[in-house]
């Protein structure tokens, strides 16, 4: 993989806060790469360092074949020499300029010829599916269209990489989903690498080729969406991505296949062997709602349905198992009345050592 952006050993402090704490990653030639993590974990600071809006305390950044930042070598190029396009959450489209002029603006600043500008804007509008709207003013556009104008302005410069910081968070849920797909298609069609920042795990999972999950300035895991979801490297990643139920239990034979787990109330269940199996003793089963199957009483773990919620595409149940309440997602055909005793089977899950908090679950592979 030839990386378009390479970030190595980046550090950035604000007073006592380590906003970025030894972050390294590389964005591939046609890659959609996301930085994902909770508020304050350092995503924006990392992106601003790449953009040249912030100077890191340590580390180096390469974009294309150019070293744009190197603390040790005293290189720190300004944003306009970094071959980047940027769109932020509070995307500023200029309200007094037409769609055409908004997109043309950065090219005008560069002093490009009129014919070149007209040609470039037309191409960007074509990519964004906005041909015919060039004379409109932003006030005459929907939120999604305004967002596309902001993207258009970033694309007009034909950057080596697009840097996007929560660009969809100002849009309502429906539009956000639509723009998510459009952005992904745009990226596929143009092959333009994207470095994307979001705190929304659904967004990151849906769009990214790879995701770096961050917490407190550090990358906990860097992997594809399904590995992040299925094989979280740390407890933080496990908790942050999706929903997870924890069930304390006892593992007697770590070599068995499937593994047999004994719950606090003496019930036993089988678990397909996960990639990491702790030593025999007290362990914690971590299982996602969609990985528990609800069946008739007598098959699997005996539990009672406390609450059922209709989600449209599925049903979600809160199920009491001993002293725990588990979240279980069943398909919409399955309709279980509240108060019913059911049998639960665990189709897939992870095992943690009981005191595993913040320790790696398994070696990253």
Ligand X SMILES: Nc1ncnc2c1ncn2[C@@H]1O[C@H](COP(=O)(O)OP(=O)(O)OP(=O)(O)O)[C@@H](O)[C@H]1O
Q: Where does this chain bind ligand X (CB under 6 A)?
A: 14, 17, 19, 37, 39-45, 199
Residue 19 site contact among Mg ion, ligand X, none (CB < 5 to 8 Å, cut-off depends on kind): ligand X
Backbone angles phi, psi at 4, to 5 degrees: -90, -35
* Minimum separation from the CB atom of position 150 to ligand X (A): 18
Of 185, 157, 159, 181, the C-alpha closest to 171 is: 181
Residue 322 site contact among Mg ion, ligand X, none (CB < 5 to 8 Å, cut-off depends on kind): none
Residue 289 site contact among ligand X, Mg ion, none (CB < 5 to 8 Å, cut-off depends on kind): none
Task: Closer to ligand X by CB, 13 or 112: give it.
Answer: 13
Distance CA 79, CA 131 (A): 29
* Minimum separation from the CB atom of position 39 to Mg ion (A): 7
Of 210, 322, 326, 203, the C-alpha closest to 262 is: 322
Task: Closer to Mg ion by CB, 37 or 289: give it.
Answer: 37
Task: Closer to ligand X by CB, 142 or 202: give it.
Answer: 202
Q: 49 and 84 in contact (C-beta within 8 Å)?
A: no
Residue 308 site contact among Mg ion, ligand X, none (CB < 5 to 8 Å, cut-off depends on kind): none
**Nearest-CB residue for Mg ion:** 44
Task: Closer to Mg ion by CB, 44 or 146: give it.
Answer: 44
Task: Closer to Mg ion by CB, 120 or 220: give it.
Answer: 220
What are 184-192's contacts with CB under 8 Å, separation 24+?
184/32, 186/127, 186/128, 186/151, 187/30, 187/32, 187/162, 189/127, 190/127, 190/155, 191/29, 191/30, 192/30, 192/155, 192/159, 192/161, 192/162
Task: Closer to Mg ion by CB, 145 or 198: give it.
Answer: 198
* Minimum separation from the CB atom of position 20 to ligand X (A): 7
* Minimum separation from the CB atom of position 43 to Mg ion (A): 5
Residue 59 site contact among Mg ion, ligand X, none (CB < 5 to 8 Å, cut-off depends on kind): none
Positions in the binding site for Mg ion (CB under 5 A): 44
């Amino acid at each position: 993989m030839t990386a378009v952006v390479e970030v190595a050993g980046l550090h950035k402090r604000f007073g006592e806060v380590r906003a970025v704490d030894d972050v390294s990653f590389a964005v591939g030639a046609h890659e959609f790469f996301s930085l994902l993590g909770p508020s304050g974990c350092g995503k924006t600071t990392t992106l601003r360092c790449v953009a040249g809006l912030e100077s890191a305390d340590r580390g180096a950044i390469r974009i294309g074949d150019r070293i744009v930042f190197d603390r040790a070598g005293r290189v720190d190029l300004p944003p306009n020499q970094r071959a980047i396009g940027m769109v932020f959450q509070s995307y500023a489209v200029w309200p007094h300029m037409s769609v055409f002029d908004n997109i043309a603006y950065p090219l005008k600043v560069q002093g490009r010829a009129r014919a070149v500008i007209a040609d470039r804007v037309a191409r960007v509008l074509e990519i964004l599916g906005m041909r015919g709207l060039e004379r409109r003013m932003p006030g005459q556009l929907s939120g999604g269209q305004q967002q596309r104008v902001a993207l258009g302005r970033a694309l007009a410069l034909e950057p080596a990489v697009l840097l996007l910081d929560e660009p969809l968070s100002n849009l309502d849920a429906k539009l956000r989903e639509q723009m998510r797909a459009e952005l992904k298609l745009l990226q596929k069609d143009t092959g333009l690498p994207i470095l994307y920042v979001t705190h929304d795990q659904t967004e990151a999972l849906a769009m990214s080729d790879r995701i770096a999950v961050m917490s407190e300035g550090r990358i906990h895991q860097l992997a594809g969406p399904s590995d992040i979801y299925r094989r979280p490297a740390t407890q933080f990643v496990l908790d942050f991505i999706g929903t997870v139920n924890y069930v304390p239990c006892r593992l007697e034979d770590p070599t068995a296949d499937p593994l047999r787990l004994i719950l606090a109330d003496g019930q036993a269940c089988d678990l397909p062997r996960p990639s990491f199996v702790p030593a025999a003793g007290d362990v914690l089963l971590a299982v996602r709602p969609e990985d528990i199957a609800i069946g008739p009483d007598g098959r699997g773990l005996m539990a009672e349905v406390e609450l059922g919620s209709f989600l449209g595409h599925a049903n979600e149940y809160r199920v009491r198992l001993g002293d725990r309440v588990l979240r279980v997602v069943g398909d919409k055909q399955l309709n279980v009345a509240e108060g019913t005793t059911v049998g639960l089977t665990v189709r897939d899950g992870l095992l943690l050592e009981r005191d595993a908090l913040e320790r790696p679950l398994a070696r990253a592979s």
